[in-house]
Amino acid sequence: MRTIDRTNGGFLFHAAPPSDRSFIPRYDKRADMRVLFLHVDYLEYEVKQKALQGIPDVPEAKRRGKVDEALVCFLTAEQRDETNPAGVAKAAAANIVDIAGQVRTKRIVLYPYAHLSSSLAAPGPAQELISYLEKELVARGFEVHASPFGYYKSFKVAVKGHPLSELSREIVADAAAPASKEDVSEAIKAEAKLVSQWHILEPSGRLHPLSLSGGQVSGFNFAGHDRLRLFVSYEMAKSREAKEEPAHVRLMRELELVDYEPGSDPGNLRYYPKGRLIKGLIEELVTRRIRESGAMEVESPVMYDFEHPALKSYLDRFPARQYIVQTPNKRTFLRFSACFGQFLIMKDMVLSYKHLPLSLYELTRYSFRAEQRGEVAGLRRLRAFTMPDCHALVPDVEAAKAQLMVRVEVAWKILEECGLSVPDDLEVGMRVTKAFWEAHKDFVVAYAKRWGKPILVEMWSEQFFYFMQKYEWNFVDGNDKAAALTTDQIDTENAKRFGITFTDEKGEKRHPLILHLSPSGAVERVMYALLEKAAAAAKAGVPPMWPLWLSPTQVRLVPVSADQLPHARSLLDHLEGVRADLDDSSDTLGKKIRTAEKEWVPYIAVIGKKEVESGQLSVRVRATKEQTDMTVETLRARIVSETKGRPFQPLAEPALLSARPIFRG
RNA sequence: GCCACCAUAGCUCAGUCGGUAGAGCAGCCGCCUUGUAAGCGGCAGGUCGGGAGUUCAAUUCUCCCUGGUGGCUCCA
């Protein structure tokens, strides 16, 4: 027998849609209720005083009760249930029947228990729901006891010890009904009126309105723009055919880069040395380029107070699915981007128009989003991810447009340096309000012209989000899934919300506009895109490769036999500033070549008797599949020149393969 | 989160119509001294993801949980 602590309300959290700069809020049209199931030997309760006004009196005979051997369902109706009590009751009944079947009982106690909820339904609809539920269960042949609603009650319970005896569930019914009153925030009201129009904009400025019928997008001839067609249909038709496991997931593990960590939460990964090396190099490159562009690097906390007024208003407007952290004295959420951290710094800065445009930058390791389980996938979608985040303050829309284009060039160069072809490997999704389009059509067209190929433009009848314009560069993978990398937005609201001001030329305080740029998108996603691109290349018969500056091993020295080992070892000293390692195993030459090729080593230098005598290396070049002779100095110079200007890190693992551990078979 | 499917050696998999399991690769030892994607032999390696139930007996059947994949929903 166990006594249940009445205050134990922490086992369920309300899950609301995620939010971030590029998130477009959509009202979650489901309804739900929460139920805590206890399979008990008995439950005894006694009604104390009323918790709610206007609740009918309970007759003396019903003020206390005892039920033996039953499934006790502590339940709450959520605010959202109000719209569809019958539907929720049906879904709840199905759940209860399911569990009652498992624990083999026909006796059920419905016990209204408000403590389970963070946003209670109003008493009326809640009672209605419970009474529906009671009827549903009685109709299915259960003996149902319902304890009085709206009272404080004391109870004693003896819980059976078996594994099914304690369960909690959040019950969801499909409720096409409209939102409940409290939930109708400004954004949602606006969204109800929102009309989204889709277009393809050509670099020439020609605009093609798109329409969707039967899952088919029409209005533009996509010939020669296959990926754009896939991206558009992904966005508009949400069509996703059944495909296989993403190619990058197999590769990230096979190459010993990154792996799942079952000991953490889904979407929190472990990086092996080679993966950490690649990720670190990308992080370094992005940070370096952004700083070179004039942004100032800062660092901000990973967790924030739920009760902070500005944050509260931000979260209220964009209810997010966050990680919750209970500190010794407050409830906090983990950041889902660097927005708050930077805004909170900016609001305390003393700013003049002379300082603008002003950019702050942070590489967030990590940003956290408690994405729905089924949405988490490999390196593509994570719960903890590394996002470079750069916010710029500008005085007005004209400055915003100009600054945005400056940042396009920075982002462009970064992704090119990382090994993506811009714009070939990416598709633009541009979102604008109708008003922005009308007033700044030239700008959008100029953007498409700079991009150099048609882009998707989504137009909203009005601004229902905090930005008037945003774009993302999307990568379309081998499974026809699109993932956004670079994104930038013109935010018209948060300066005001956070109290960020600058003094203009006339000495007046004004709120600036804020640009939200993630120059590369999440670093994990850059790795995902590179791996997917390599996998696509392999499929097309081209050897999959990393850009040279990211290759964990740049040169593999392979002696033909043990006789050449001392010579090969001495060559390592001539490869300063290059990631060179040595296969000192006793494998055959063929085997050693195979090992190196499987690791995508770009230069394999074979050293046999001939090479020792001539002082040359027989270099097998992965990119071209050619074999050429050159000296170690030539090889080194070639690699140094091919990686010029990029960050460099030495080998992540021992140079001798015999000393290298295996992280994963 | 929901629906479906999956989880056997470090890896990729086979197998057990319920009687506690096998291969290849990798690892270790030995032989071979290798000329551009797998040389040969031997050894070792498993609470069959975790918990519970049914059963004389569960890796196998049932349930719950965890992790993963696909879909829904959603996103840097």
- Order of strands, edge to edge, in the sheet holding A455-460? A207-209, A196-201, A455-460, A426-433, A467-476, A482-491, A513-518, A384-394, A358-368, A296-297
| Residue A615, Cβ density class (10 Å: 0-12 exposed, 13-18 middle, ≥19 buried) | exposed
Burial class (CB in 10 A: 0-12, 13-18, 19+), A33: buried
**Residue A540 DSSP label:** T
> Whose CA is nearest the C1' atom of nucleotide B25?
A665
Residues A418/A524, Cβ–Cβ less than 8 Å? no
Calculate the angstrom distance between C1' of B65 and CA of A539: 39
Nucleic acid strand B within 7 Å of A481 CB: yes
At A555, list the tokens: 């040169």
In the structure, how far is the CA atom of residue A631 from the C1' atom of nucleotide B31, in angstroms? 35
- Three-class SS state of A387: strand
pLDDT of A322 strictly over 60 = yes
A21 touches strand B (CB under 7 A): yes
Cis peptide before A357 (omega within 30 of 0): yes
pLDDT of residue A561: 95
Contacts for A353 with CB less than 8 Å, ≥ 6 apart:
A395, A502, A503, A504, A505
Q: Which nucleotide is nearest to A489 (CA to C1')?
A: B76
Q: Which pLDDT score is estimated for A168? A: 57
Q: How far apart are CA A294 and CA A279, in angstroms?
A: 23
Give the list of residues 6+ apart from residue A242 with CB closer than 8 angstroms, or none.
none
Among candidates A550, A584, A567, A573, which has minimal Cα distance to A652? A550
Mean pLDDT of chain A: 83
Residue A442 Cβ < 7 Å to strand B: no
Taking the CA of residue A120 and the C1' sugar atom of nucleotide B48, their distance in angstroms comes to 46
What's the rounded mean pLDDT across residues A8-17? 24
Residues 255-294 in A having a C-beta less than 7 A from any atom of strand B are: 260, 262, 265-267
Nearest C-alpha neighbor of A343 from the set A496, A535, A231: A496
- Across A267-304, b (16+ Cβ under 10 Å) vs e yields bbbebbbbbbbbbebbbebbbebbeebebeeeebebbb
- The amino acid that residue A554 corresponds to is Q
Q: Is the pLDDT of residue A454 over 60?
A: yes
Beta carbons of A209 and A197 less than 8 angstroms apart:
yes
If you ran DSSP here, which 8-state letter would residue A33 be given? E
- Evaluate the CA torsion angle A248, A249, A252, A256 in order and state its sign: negative
Q: Look at residue A185 in the predicted model and tell me its pLDDT.
A: 41
The structure tokens listed for A449 are: 């012209």
CA distance A160 to A628: 75
**Nearest amino-acid residue to B71, taking CA and C1':** A242
- Identify the bridge partners of residue A472 per DSSP, sorted by sequence position: A429, A487
Q: What band does A3 get if pLDDT is binned at 50, 70 and 90?
A: very low
Strand B–CB A196 distance below 7 A: no
- Rounded to whole angstroms, the distance from the CA of residue A193 to the C1' of nucleotide B75 is 23
Q: Are A513 and A500 in contact (CB under 8 A)?
A: no
Strands in A404-466 per DSSP E: 426-433, 455-460
Residue type, position A12, single letter: L
Sign of CA dihedral A152, A81, A193, A312: positive
**pLDDT tens, A140-171?**
667 777 777 766 666 666 666 554 555 555 55
Task: Using the structure, give the distance in angstroms from the CA atom of A662 to the C1' atom of B12, rounded to a whole number.
Answer: 16
- pLDDT tens by residue, A561-605: 999 999 999 999 999 999 999 999 999 999 999 999 999 999 999
CB atoms within 10 A of CB A449: 13
CB A665 within 8 A of CB A304: no
- Do the interacting molecules here have an ipTM over 0.90? yes
Q: Is the CB of A104 under 7 A from strand B?
A: no
- Global pTM reads 0.77
List, for residues A609-661, the tens digit of each pLDDT value: 999 999 999 999 999 999 999 999 999 999 999 999 999 999 999 999 999 99
State, as a whole number of angstroms, the distance between the CA of A23 and the C1' of B30: 62
d(CA A227, CA A456): 12
What gap in Å lies between CA A480 and CA A502, rounded to an integer?
45
**Predicted pLDDT of residue A130:** 73
Strand boundaries in A477-566, DSSP class E: 482-491, 502-503, 509-510, 513-518, 555-559
In the chain, the amino acid numbered A339 is: C
Q: Give the closest residue to A225 by CA, choosing from A246, A200, A204, A199.
A: A200
Answer for A613: CB within 7 Å of strand B.
no
Rounded CA separation A200/A225 (Å): 11
The pairing of beta strand A426-433 with beta strand A269-271: unpaired
The predicted-structure confidence for A408-423, as pLDDT tens digits, reads as follows: 999 999 999 999 999 9
Q: How many CB atoms lie within 10 A of CB A454?
A: 24
Which of strand B's nucleotides are less than 7 A from any protein C-beta? 1-3, 10-12, 25-27, 31-39, 51-53, 63-76
Percent of chain A with pLDDT over 90: 62
Residues 6+ apart with CB under 8 A from A263: none
Separation between Cα atoms, residue A388 and residue A386, nearest integer Å: 7
Alpha-carbon Rg for chain A in angstroms: 30
- Using the structure, give the distance in angstroms from the CA atom of A559 to the C1' atom of B40, rounded to a whole number: 21
In Å, how far are A13, A75, A127, A324, A638 from A9, measured between CA atoms?
9, 12, 21, 14, 64
Tell me the C-alpha distance between A635 and A627, whole Å: 13
**Per-residue model confidence as pLDDT tens digits over A175-216:** 322 233 233 344 444 555 567 899 999 999 999 999 987 778
Q: Is A369's CB less than 7 Å from nucleic acid strand B?
A: yes
Residue A96 has pLDDT above 80, yes or no: no
Please, which pLDDT band fits residue A69 given cuts at 50, 70 and 90? confident
Residue pair A653/A275 in contact (Cβ under 8 Å)? The answer is: no
CA atoms within 13 A on the CB side of A112: 27
Instruction: Please report, as a single letter, which amino acid is at residue A179.
Output: A
Spacing of A256 CA from B5 C1' in Å: 27
Q: Phi/psi of residue A631, each to 5°?
A: -80, 165
C-alpha distances in angstroms, A511 versus A20, A209, A356, A394, A479?
21, 35, 12, 9, 44
For the stretch A304-321, pLDDT in tens is: 998 888 887 777 665 457
Asked whether the beta carbons of A132 and A126 are under 8 A apart, the reply is no
Report the 10 Å Cβ neighbour count for A537: 13
How far apart, in whole angstroms, are the C-alpha atoms of residue A425 and residue A526?
A: 12
